[in-house]
């Protein structure tokens, strides 16, 4: 458990202005310097193809447990992990009340005065805490977003005294949401194990710690098409489960060199394969790059739950057949996370550092 608290000591941060406050400044009063840090020159480099949004796979958790449909739905899940790295999960069993409560409280939290939110963030000193940008390199553009993250699971890895106590029921709604999502992540991992024909025990230790991050993307009236709420990245997790709190188009996933906007169904959670699952499957399941664009007038709000092994765990590629070529190194979770959060990626994806050199 003390190992788990070391998670928060990784990475590089840069103190930045609160974007919500920046966005509230009248356009005429914004200085070039303030906005310049956010302008992304490559934003239009690749096409955006909204026509493919409807193809993002939808997986029904109920159908994975029903004897009649289990085979077909497992095949769909395998296809989703292999071909998309992303899927919408419906019939996921997280009660409506819990979703409504977390939605209500996160919205209220971001409406609190800046100094109140800052006080919570400063207490925490967290690596991706509110008012701090997490950067991978000096020349990286900043994201048009404010983020607030917390360790939520297992109970011994968290310190609830860091959790915001406003709005009044917030701690309670975070606790309920995160414990449901932890169970859900374990169950999704078990179904994923089934798609790989491996013992579910082999994934049980991959989902031990949960970090949740609330992502607030203010509108950008000045130049929405020039900034990103979240720069292109893949997740350093094993699995990630995302809920849109205020559902405004923004999330786009990379597919065949283009960007596909994701349009979440009203009752869906969005699940994606993280880097560690890519490593474990020897690259069969892909941790796909994604980004978030910004709306001119509407705010967007989401909560990501990242599921990772324990800090001193390892992930090794599992092979389907003895002839299969090993493409990834056995990776220490701590080392991988350090690399993922470091400035030393040299333009490569973090996953590529976990690959064995190809000769």
Which residues lie near Fe ion (CB under 5 A)? 235
* Identified binder of ligand AKG from the candidate list 40, 152, 173, 304, rule CB under 6 A: 304
Indicate whether 178 belongs to the interface with ligand AKG (CB under 6 A).
Answer: no
Q: Does 234 bind ligand AKG (CB under 6 A)?
A: no
Token pair 């994701």 is at which residue? 262
**Residue 294 binds ligand AKG, judged by CB under 6 A:** no
Nearer to Fe ion, 272 or 281 (CB): 272
Our measurement of the distance from residue 205's CA atom to the centroid of its chain's CA atoms, rounded to an integer in Å, reads 19
Q: Which is nearer to ligand AKG, 290 or 310 (CB)?
A: 290
Closest CB 292 distance from Fe ion, rounded Å: 8
Write b or e for each residue in 126-135: b if 16 or more Cβ atoms lie within 10 A of its Cβ, otherwise e.
bbbbbbbbbb
Question: Contacts with ligand AKG: how many residues (CB under 6 A)?
Answer: 10
- Torsion, Cα 77 83 88 94, to 10 degrees, reads 40
Tell me if 128 contacts ligand AKG by CB under 6 A.
Answer: no
- Partner from Fe ion, ligand AKG, none binding residue 59, C-beta < 5-8 Å depending on class: none
User: Does 103 contact ligand AKG by CB under 6 A?
Assistant: no
State the Cα–Cα distance between residues 142 and 140, nearest whole angstrom.
6
Helix (H) or strand (E) holding 103: helix 96-111
211: three-class secondary structure by DSSP: strand
- Choosing from 150, 242, 243, 294, the residue that interacts with ligand AKG (CB under 6 A) is 242
Select from 18, 57, 58 the least CA-distant residue to 34: 18
Instruction: For the segment 250-269, give every residue that binds ligand AKG (CB under 6 A).
Output: 251
Residue of 8, 40, 178, 215 interacting with ligand AKG (CB under 6 A): 215
Measured between alpha carbons, how far is 31 from 150 in angstroms, rounded to an integer? 33
Report yes or no: 151 and 6 within 8 Å, Cβ to Cβ. no
213 lies in the site for ligand AKG, by CB under 6 A = yes
**Residue whose C-beta lies closest to Fe ion:** 235
213 binds, among ligand AKG, Fe ion, none (CB under 5 to 8 A by kind): ligand AKG
For residue 233, the minimal CB distance to Fe ion (Å) is: 6
Task: Supply the DSSP symbol for 14.
Answer: E
Using DSSP, how many helices (H) and how many strands (E) does the chain show?
12, 15
Minimum Å distance from CB 290 to Fe ion? 6
Q: How far apart are CA 45 and CA 41, in angstroms?
A: 8
What is the crossing angle of helices 170-195 and 96-111, to 10°?
A: 130
List of residues contacting ligand AKG (CB under 6 A) = 213, 215, 230, 235, 242, 251, 290, 292, 302, 304
């Amino acid at each position: 458990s003390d190992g788990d608290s070391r998670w928060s000591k990784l990475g590089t941060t840069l103190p930045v202005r609160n974007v919500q406050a920046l966005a509230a400044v009248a356009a005429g009063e914004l200085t070039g310097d303030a906005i310049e840090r956010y302008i992304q020159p490559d934003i239009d480099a690749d096409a955006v193809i909204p026509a493919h949004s409807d193809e993002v796979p939808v997986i029904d958790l109920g159908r994975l447990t029903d004897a009649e449909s289990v085979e077909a739905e497992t095949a769909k899940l395998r296809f989703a992990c292999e071909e998309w790295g992303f899927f919408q999960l419906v019939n996921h069993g997280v009660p409506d009340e819990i979703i409504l409560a977390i939605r209500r409280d996160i919205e209220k939290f971001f409406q609190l005065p800046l100094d109140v939110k800052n006080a919570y963030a400063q207490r925490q000193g967290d690596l991706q805490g509110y008012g701090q940008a997490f950067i991978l390199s000096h020349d990286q553009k900043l994201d048009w977003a404010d983020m607030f993250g917390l360790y939520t699971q297992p109970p011994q890895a968290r310190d609830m005294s860091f959790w915001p106590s406003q709005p009044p029921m917030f701690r309670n709604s975070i606790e309920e949401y995160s414990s449901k999502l932890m169970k859900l992540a374990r169950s999704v991992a078990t179904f994923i194990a089934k798609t790989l024909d491996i013992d579910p025990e082999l994934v049980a230790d991959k989902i031990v710690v949960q970090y949740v991050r609330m992502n607030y993307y203010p509108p950008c009236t000045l130049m929405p098409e020039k900034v990103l709420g979240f720069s292109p990245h893949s997740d350093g997790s094993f699995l990630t489960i995302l809920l849109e709190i205020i559902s405004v188009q923004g999330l786009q996933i990379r597919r065949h060199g283009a960007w596909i906007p994701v349009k979440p169904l009203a009752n869906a959670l969005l699940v994606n394969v993280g880097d560690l699952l890519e490593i474990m499957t020897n690259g069969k399941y892909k941790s796909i790059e994604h980004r978030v664009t910004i709306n001119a007038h509407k705010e967007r709000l989401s909560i990501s739950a990242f599921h990772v092994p324990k800090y001193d765990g390892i992930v090794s590629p599992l092979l389907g057949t003895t002839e299969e070529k090993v493409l990834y190194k056995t990776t220490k979770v701590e080392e991988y996370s350090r690399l993922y959060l470091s400035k030393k990626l040299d333009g490569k994806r973090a996953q590529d550092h976990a690959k064995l050199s190809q000769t």
